[in-house]
Amino acid sequence: MRRLIATKEAARPVALADVAQPVPEPDEALVKVEAFAPNRGETFLVERPAPGWLPGKDIAGLVVQAAADGSGPGIGTRVVGHPAHSGWAEYAAVPTHSLTPLPDGIDTAQAAALPLAGITALRLLRTAPCPAGQRVLLTGASGGVGHYVTELAVGAGAEVTAVTATPVRGERLTQLGARVVHDVADAEGPFDVVLESTGGPVLPAALSRTRPGGTLVWFGQASRTPATLDFFDLLNGPERVTIQHFHYAGAPYGPDLAALVRLVAQGRLHPEIDRVADWSQAARTLVDLRERRVRGKAVLLTGGTAR
Q: Could you list the residue range(s) of the whole structural domain that residue 55 is in?
A: 2-114+271-301
Helix axes 40-47, 282-290, angle to 10 degrees: 110
User: How far apart, in whole angstroms, are the C-alpha atoms of residue 110 and residue 37?
Assistant: 10
Q: What is the pLDDT of residues 129-157, one digit of tens each?
A: 888 899 999 999 999 999 999 999 999 99
44-48, 94-98, 210-214, 258-262: lowest mean pLDDT where? 44-48
| pLDDT value of position 304 | 55
- Domain membership flag for residue 263: no
Is 141 found in the same domain as 93?
A: no
Is 131 found in the same domain as 110?
A: no
User: How far apart, in whole angstroms, are the C-alpha atoms of residue 79 and residue 257?
Assistant: 10
Is 22 found in the same domain as 93?
A: yes
Is 110 found in the same domain as 23?
A: yes
Query: Higher confidence at residue 237 or residue 220?
Result: 220
- Domain membership flag for residue 265: no
Is 163 found in the same domain as 125?
A: yes
Task: Give the CATH number for residue 179.
Answer: 3.90.180.10
Does residue 113 contact residue 297 with C-beta atoms inside 8 Å?
yes
- Domain membership flag for residue 149: yes
| pLDDT value of position 251 | 96
Residue 231: pLDDT band (50, 70, 90) is confident
Is the pLDDT at 307 greater than 70? The verdict is no
* Mean pLDDT value of segment 75-104: 98
Is the pLDDT at 181 greater than 50? The verdict is yes
Is 145 found in the same domain as 65?
A: no
Structural domains counted in the chain: 2
Is 295 found in the same domain as 280?
A: yes
Is 169 found in the same domain as 224?
A: yes
- Domain membership flag for residue 26: yes
* Rounded alpha-carbon distances, angstroms, from residue 48 to 55, 108, 214, 226: 11, 30, 38, 19
Closest CA to 6 of 39, 51, 36: 51
| pLDDT value of position 8 | 85
* Mean pLDDT value of segment 52-81: 97
Of the three residues 208, 229, 245, the one that is the final residue of a domain is 245
| pLDDT value of position 10 | 86
Q: What is the model's pTM?
A: 0.94
Is 108 found in the same domain as 71?
A: yes
| pLDDT value of position 269 | 97
Residue 147 CB coordination number (10 Å): 29
Q: What is the pLDDT of residues 156-180, one digit of tens each?
A: 999 999 999 999 999 999 999 999 9
Residue 52: pLDDT band (50, 70, 90) is confident
Is 183 found in the same domain as 136?
A: yes
Average pLDDT over all residues of the chain: 94
- Domain membership flag for residue 57: yes
Is 205 found in the same domain as 289?
A: no
- Domain membership flag for residue 21: yes
- Domain membership flag for residue 276: yes
Considering the chain, what percentage of its residues have pLDDT values greater than 90? 87
- Domain membership flag for residue 291: yes
User: How far apart, in whole angstroms, are the C-alpha atoms of residue 56 and residue 41?
Assistant: 11
Is 32 found in the same domain as 14?
A: yes
